[in-house]
Amino acid sequence: MKVHPLFLWLSLLTNTVAAELWSLEALQQAPEGWEIELKVEGELNGDKRSDFALILQKKDKTLIKKDEWGEENFNPRRLVVFLSEQDGYRQALQTRDGFLPSASTPDSHCLEDPLADGSLTIRKSQLYVSLHYFHSCGSWWTTNATYQIRYKNAKFELIGKESQSLHRASLMEEHSSVNYLTNKEKFTTGINQSASEEHRPETKWRTLAKAEQPLTLDVSKLKELP
């Protein structure tokens, strides 16, 4: 049974996952006090039907600050996923506030918004969240990090992370590839694509701290992207 969009969005605002089915029309509307920043469509659970993933941002004027750094937006964001069923869409995931970074962070006023167009994609039945960390002051490093998420056993699991960091002065790079299913990380330093005499890659493998498996995006478990 489909119910009114307002009731369904109220379940989101209280950090619960609604069991009722959503209409396609309801997915086009943000709940009051929120806005849809990004929305992508693609198949996520193997049934060959299009699903939807959205990133929502709260619109609270009290969380937008103006100071010597300019305007900073500390409103929280949430990742929400809807899976297609025969008669509508079922909300299968919503993350808690703080899971995704806000546009601004109080710890680094020079850090630009990590989220941009193209930060949310669906490829080969898996969901990808990409974040770009660029400091306009205080750090020469810029980092691109992409998180790989799959749907399995009625849960969304974080299974991988690929990141590339570039020092904008020396042009040295560091690459990291993390497998959260095995708790292993491949870490490569000494990369310099612009100066062959300085290009001396060195790769090491690390074992991460033991984490609960699987690493699900449940609101009670994974509080923020690692």
* The predicted structure's pLDDT at residue 25: 82
SS3 at position 121: strand
Read off the pTM.
0.89
Give the C-alpha separation, 109 to 119, whole Å. 21
For the stretch 157-173, pLDDT in tens is 999 999 999 999 999 99
pLDDT score, position 4: 40
User: Containing H/E element for 26?
Assistant: helix 24-27
At 170-216, the pLDDT tens digits run 999 999 999 999 999 999 999 998 878 788 999 999 998 877 777 88
Residue 41 CA to residue 138 CA, distance in Å, equals 38
Place of tokens 């079922």: 90
Mean pLDDT of the chain: 88
Which of the two residues, 219 and 47, has the higher pLDDT score? 47
Q: Can you give the C-alpha Rg of the chain in angstroms?
A: 19
**Cis, peptide link before residue 214, omega less than 30° from 0:** yes
Any residues with CB less than 8 A from the CB of 163 and at least 6 apart, and which? 143, 144, 145, 146, 175, 176
Reported as a pLDDT band with limits 50, 70 and 90, residue 85 is very high
Question: What's the pLDDT score for residue 15?
Answer: 54
pLDDT at residue number 14: 53
Could you report the per-residue pLDDT of 127-148, keeping only the tens digit for each? 999 999 999 988 999 999 999 9
Residues 6 or more apart in contact with residue 16 via CB below 8 angstroms: none
Whether the CB-CB separation of 22 and 82 falls below 8 Å is answered with yes
Residue that has been written with the tokens 């506030």 in this structure: 97
Hey, how many other C-beta atoms are within 10 angstroms of the C-beta on 202? 9
CA 173 to mean position of chain CA atoms: 23
Instruction: State yes or no: pLDDT of 48 exceeds 70.
Output: yes
